[in-house]
Amino acid sequence: MQILDGKLVSEAIKAQLAAQVAELKAAGKKVPHLAAILVGNNPASETYVASKVKSCAECGYNSTLFRFDAQISEKHLLDQIILLNENPDIDGILVQLPLPKHISEELVINTIDPSKDVDGFHPMNVGKMVSGLPAFIPATPYGIMLMLEHYNIPTKGKHAVVIGRSHIVGTPMSILLSRNTNPGNCTVTLTHSQTHNLAEICKQADIIIAAIGKPDFVTADMVKEGAVIVDVGINRVEDASKKSGFRLKGDVKFDEVAPKCSYISPVPGGVGPMTIAALLKNTYHAAIGLKGSMN
């Protein structure tokens, strides 16, 4: 069993990006500039945004954090996004989700200029991804593909089971794994909460992408020997021994499942760092004028 170390891979990607940005600076060219929008003070969102801003600095990017009160009107937020769309110095825009209930996430995402949509959520980027055209890929699926590539995980002809059909992870993951690329060329089964015989389907999988948002959902009896497991879950469970009062658990019962695997990603330290690395790659591509991250 080998750990899919997202921290290690993300650091390698960030080092490569830092070298590329240093070349841009040396040539007198513009460096990438990411604008991050944070609405309210959700503790998890605060942590994620801080990590993204820190990673930008590590790679030599410029970044600007726009903080807004949770009571901001939908119109005012949309107006701010339009201003960022029109600002030629801004290459990438990310709006940290979730948003307060009175603001439509769909409307916010649709307002972002697709050429600055480094989270890859705009319908135009989603449509291009489905069509196999250059597009900004949602950061978590893109990060997983980069991790599979780094570890040279064989995917051609393999049966991949994706658990969870969200537009952010599960559905794009199923599309990317099925494409005629490397990594890719899998036969993909996309499963969800209404899937019958889920355990039996998982037992047939060479690769499992667990993105259902339920701690310890995938157990050893659902996994065949030698499977590759990518755990996307980031679930907060109460833990009085921790200063924060909680600890992070994945969707996979790690201690039980790991001995059966050829590769497995941990939580934390697996997919999370890869999501940020992919966001940074998308922002770099936006800055140098590429209209997407993967062909």
- Tell me the average pLDDT across 65-91: 97
Q: Specify the amino acid at residue 18.
A: A
Q: Is 236 helix (H, G, I), strand (E, B) or coil?
A: strand
Amino acid at residue number 135:
A
96, 116, 158, 206: the active-site residue: 96
Q: Tell me, what's the pLDDT at 292? A: 57
164 labelled binding-site residue = yes
- pLDDT band of residue 295 (cuts 50, 70, 90) is very low
Q: Which residue has the tokens 């726009």?
A: 66
Residue 207 token pair:
């690769």
pLDDT on residue 250: 94
Question: pTM of the full predicted structure?
Answer: 0.94
Distance CA 43, CA 99 (A): 13
165 is in an annotated binding site: yes
CA 149, distance to chain mean position in Å, is 15
Is the pLDDT score of 291 beyond 70? Answer: no
φ, ψ (nearest 5 deg) of residue 256: -80, -40
- The reply to whether 52 belongs to the active site is yes
Q: Mark whether 71 is an active-site residue.
A: no
The one catalytic residue in 5, 117, 119, 206 is 119
> pLDDT for 147-197, tens place per residue?
999 999 999 999 999 999 999 999 999 999 999 999 999 999 999 999 999
Of 97, 21, 87, the closest CA to residue 56 belongs to: 21
166 is in an annotated binding site: yes
CB 231 within 8 A of CB 104: no
Q: Let me know if 96 is a catalytic residue.
A: yes
Query: Binding site annotation covers 270?
Result: no
Rounded to whole angstroms, how far apart are CA atoms 228 and 18? Answer: 30
With CA atoms as reference, report the closest residue to 292 among 116, 171, 167, 145: 116
